[in-house]
A and B are shown apart, each in its own frame.
Chain A
Amino acid sequence: MSVEIKTSGDTVTAYLSGELDHHSAKEMREAVDNAVELNMPSRLVLDFKGVSFMDSSGIGLVMGRYRTLLKTGAQLYITGASPQIYKVMKLAGIERLAKLEER
């Protein structure tokens, strides 16, 4: 599990990789929150291209970041979701909170 953060203009992109479950979610969450706090972006992109598995812990991660961004009005984008991840996201109705793009 790892998170790579890249900043470009007013966009922060977090490239997540590995398996996203209850075991790994905390570390990912902290890395993303640190980047948001430091850069105050107007767009946060969570890139799931490198994530091989995700359960509902990933939904908690997305919903938590959505709530954080509500305070600043920034927008949330989810890219690179595999069919398995996309299925979990759709079940949770994440497309109502963020722009959701399948891999």
Chain B
Amino acid sequence: MEVNNKFTMNVLAKSANEGFARACISAFAAQLDPTLEEVNDIKTAVSEAVTNCIVHAYKEKIGKIYITGELCDKNTIRIKIRDTGCGIENVEKAMEPLYTTVGGERAGLGFAVMQSFMDTVKVRSAVGKGTSIVMTKRINRRINING
């Protein structure tokens, strides 16, 4: 894919940064003139991925979350969210709806939301090294009624 624009940032894995990450990605995605539904889909998927880093990857410490956004082929946004936390032992299992390894009130729907709201979701993980999630979504270009 041809990359037309890109940003990278990293944030501490603190829950206060969930909203910050959503705000950043929606501002970046605005360059593709998405619909409100498309922006909301992207924000929701990013929120799930960032929350996973905080809740699962860095259980014992506050590590860093690395976020990259790319605008590709004129109408696609590609988002990479990476941590250097504990990693996932069984990615396939972790992606099953309602599966969660933490107690409390986590619904176990993070990956299901990402897969439902984005076009593609790829997860790579190594135990003790971290996890990387790459998601893409194609934005449907709207016809400019003003010409």
Q: Which residues of A contact B (CB under 8 A)?
A: 19, 21-23, 25, 29, 53, 55-57, 59-61, 63-64, 83-84, 87-88, 91-92
Contact = CB atoms under 8 A, between A and B. Distances in A.
Nearest to A21: B18
Q: Determine the main DSSP class of B at the interface with A.
A: helix
Contacts of B51: 21-22, 55, 57
B95 interface: no
B112 interface: yes
27 contacts: A19-B19, A21-B19, A22-B15, A22-B54, A23-B15, A23-B18, A23-B19, A53-B43, A55-B44, A55-B48, A56-B106, A56-B113, A57-B51, A57-B107, A60-B104, A60-B105, A60-B106, A60-B107, A83-B37, A84-B44, A88-B44, A88-B113, A91-B109, A91-B112, A91-B113, A91-B116, A92-B109
Contact of B18 (A22, A64, A87, A92): A22
A59 B107 contact: yes
B80 interface: no
Interface in B26-77: 37, 40, 43-44, 47-48, 51, 54-55
A23 B48 CA distance: 12
